[in-house]
């Protein structure tokens, strides 16, 4: 710190009778804190900056902390279980603070768990920093935060992930992300696969005509499933399938089409649990006997139960040929 730089005092941590430590950031902002509170939240005396055996009634000590005031402010707010939302810190600053917690002996999983101020402010960035938030959560195994972030990751293209991002996310959470996308595609296929119901043949609409109409449905659905992203909306699906009404002159078939569109809108909008027993579009006989049980909950999109042991063995045999 440049001694010629005038010091500023944090409004959140002003001097009080009970404070006994003054922390000074490298940009000359002072934070008046309680040594016992800081030591109680750290397993290494806050980066070995504090004295664990100092007397509470001793003179106030001044500690230089090699952090920017924005980062130190967040760390102290986390220790005191205070919200730093009024400061509107950027995601980058929040991420830096979380990454620095371990340096100061702070348990990340304690300070960033549901119902904590840090969890709340981090999750508020999910809509605009979903991937980086998911990577941060994955890196520190913050499962609940990863669940929250994953709900905003349905629109990303997995092939666009950089090597650095893949490495930071790590295998367990990367697998969950891939499975989330695969599961959503499988759910979409199951919702759409059934064509509109048929009616008794008439002079103007034969059984053959209805078969052709059902085939048109299946062909359109196949294209939708192959091209759709996991976050496709029911409104967009309906917009793609509604033109099928022009493929028939039968009013009953059209009514059945509209009923089916209403049904799929409700089904896709309220998918809570689904299961599937095979991966999508894999045409490898070695995988045919693999048994999966996957459950995807809308409010917990990466709470996935996978029987992957057989697949791992099959994968190893496949690539050892």
Phi, psi of 283 (to 5 degrees): -115, 50
| 101-121: average pLDDT | 97
Rg (CA), the chain: 28
CATH fold of the domain at 8-125: Potassium Channel Kv1.1; Chain A (3.30.710)
Residues of the chain with CATH 3.30.710.10: 8-125
Phi, psi of 196 (to 5 degrees): -55, 150
If you ran DSSP here, which 8-state letter would residue 244 be given?
A: G
CA distances from 307 to 294, 310, 315 (A): 8, 7, 14
User: What is the average pLDDT value for the chain, to the nearest integer?
Assistant: 83
Query: Is residue 186 over pLDDT 80?
Result: yes
Work out the angle at residue 227's Cα, subtended by the Cα atoms of residues 224 and 228, and round it to the nearest 5 degrees: 70
Please list, in sequence order, all residues whose beta carbon lies within 8 angstroms of the beta carbon of residue 177, skipping any fewer than 6 positions away. 134, 150, 153, 158, 169, 302
pTM here is 0.72
Closest to 230 in 3D by CA, of 286, 311, 155: 155
pLDDT digits (tens, 9 = 90+) for 52-75: 776 555 678 999 999 999 999 999
Phi, psi of 102 (to 5 degrees): -60, -35
**Structure-token pair, residue 12:** 């959140």
Query: Is residue 13 over pLDDT 90?
Result: yes
pLDDT digits (tens, 9 = 90+) for 140-159: 999 999 999 998 898 888 88
29-33/61-64 β-pairing: unpaired
Query: Is residue 97 over pLDDT 60?
Result: yes
- The counts of H helices and E strands in the chain are 14, 4
Strands of the 21-24 sheet, one edge to the other: 8-9, 29-33, 21-24, 61-64
Phi, psi of 266 (to 5 degrees): -70, -40
């Amino acid at each position: 710190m440049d001694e010629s730089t005038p010091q500023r005092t944090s409004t959140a941590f002003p001097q009080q009778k009970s404070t006994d430590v003054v922390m000074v950031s490298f940009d000359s902002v002072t934070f008046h804190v309680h040594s016992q509170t800081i030591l109680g939240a750290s397993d290494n005396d806050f980066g070995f900056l504090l004295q664990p055996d100092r007397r509470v009634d001793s003179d106030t000590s001044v500690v230089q902390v090699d952090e920017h005031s924005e980062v130190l402010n967040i760390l102290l707010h986390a220790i005191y279980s205070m919200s730093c939302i009024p400061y509107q810190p950027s995601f980058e600053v929040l991420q830096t603070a979380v990454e620095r917690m371990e340096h100061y002996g702070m348990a990340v999983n304690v300070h960033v768990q549901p119902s904590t101020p840090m969890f709340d402010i981090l999750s508020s960035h999910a809509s605009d920093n979903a991937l980086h938030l998911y990577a941060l959560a994955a890196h520190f195994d913050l499962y609940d935060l990863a669940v929250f972030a994953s709900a905003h990751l349905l629109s990303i293209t997995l092939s666009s992930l950089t090597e650095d991002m893949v490495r930071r996310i790590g295998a367990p959470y990367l697998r969950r992300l891939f499975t989330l996308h695969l599961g959503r595609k499988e759910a979409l296929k199951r919702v759409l696969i059934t064509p509109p119901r048929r009616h008794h043949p008439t002079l103007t609409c034969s059984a053959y005509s209805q078969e052709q109409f059902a085939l048109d449905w299946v062909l359109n659905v196949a294209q939708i499933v192959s091209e759709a992203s996991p976050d496709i909306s029911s409104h967009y699906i309906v917009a793609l399938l509604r033109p099928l009404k022009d493929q028939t002159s039968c009013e009953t078939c059209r009514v059945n089409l509209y009923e089916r569109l209403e049904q799929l809108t409700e089904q896709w909008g309220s998918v809570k649990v689904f299961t599937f027993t095979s991966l999508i579009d894999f045409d490898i006989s070695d995988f045919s006997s693999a048994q999966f049980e996957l459950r995807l909950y809308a409010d917990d999109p990466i709470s996935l139960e996978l029987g992957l042991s057989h697949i791992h063995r099959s994968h190893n045999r496949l690539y050892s040929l």
